[in-house]
């Protein structure tokens, strides 16, 4: 996903619109460990704003995740918007390099590859806990049955000994 900034620098164009669809085999994020099951679609616009550049866009794809509670696989749609500011490198702008939405490039650079920035945006947007549904019951802690698909006759009567005294207060 390479952007040619020379077209904007010359003033020939005020903005450039990009639209790409990467097939599953072509998706440039194989190192993320995600199991893509749908093409990756991305659209973005690059505009010159003063001496800087603005990149605003969106992407969408679908991946397969294992549920953290019941271990069943489920489809998850990754869909998000993004925006970046691209600035030419200046003196004393080390603190800008730490900003998530600012890309600092040298004066000699007129091509910018945003693949790594999009990869980071995707990874940050993923859910912390992968659940197949909000009401997932998970696995039985005794026999391992998927409680979403079957019921089990296990008696889960184990009580942590640290809570025995507290439990006795509720039995009275």
Chain center to CA of 86: 21
Q: Which helix (H) or strand (E) holds 59?
A: strand 52-66
Average pLDDT over residues 59-64: 95
Positive or negative: CA dihedral 38, 36, 120, 114: negative
Average pLDDT over residues 3-19: 83
Residue corresponding to tokens 């390099």 = 97
Give the pLDDT of residue 75: 96
- For 90-108, write each residue's pLDDT tens digit: 765 555 555 667 878 776 6
pTM: 0.76
CA distance readout (Å), 47 to 1, 40, 54, 84, 162:
16, 23, 5, 11, 62
Residue 123, pLDDT above cutoff 80: yes
Give the pLDDT of residue 3: 84
- Quote the CA–CA distance of 22 and 115 in Å, as a whole number: 12
- Quote the CA–CA distance of 51 and 59 in Å, as a whole number: 27
- For 25-42, write each residue's pLDDT tens digit: 888 888 888 999 999 999
Contacts of 168 (CB under 8 A, 6+ apart): none
- Quote the CA–CA distance of 82 and 65 in Å, as a whole number: 23
Give the pLDDT of residue 172: 58
Average pLDDT over residues 106-115: 79
């Amino acid at each position: 996903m390479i952007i040619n900034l020379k077209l904007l620098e010359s003033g020939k164009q005020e903005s450039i619109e990009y639209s790409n669809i990467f097939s599953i085999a072509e998706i440039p994020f194989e190192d993320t460990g995600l199991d893509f099951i749908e093409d990756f679609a991305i659209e973005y616009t690059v505009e010159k704003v003063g001496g800087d550049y603005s990149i605003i866009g969106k992407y969408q794809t679908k991946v397969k995740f294992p549920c953290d509670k019941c271990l069943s696989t489920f489809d998850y749609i990754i869909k998000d918007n993004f925006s970046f500011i691209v600035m030419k490198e200046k003196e004393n702008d080390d603190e800008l390099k730490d900003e998530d939405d600012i890309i600092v490039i040298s004066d000699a650079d007129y091509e910018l590859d945003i693949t790594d920035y999009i990869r980071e945006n995707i990874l940050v947007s993923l859910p912390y806990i992968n659940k197949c549904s909000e009401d997932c019951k998970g696995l039985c802690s005794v026999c391992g049955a998927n409680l979403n698909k079957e019921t089990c006759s296990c008696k889960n009567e184990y009580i942590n000994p640290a809570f025995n005294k507290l439990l006795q207060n509720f039995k009275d």
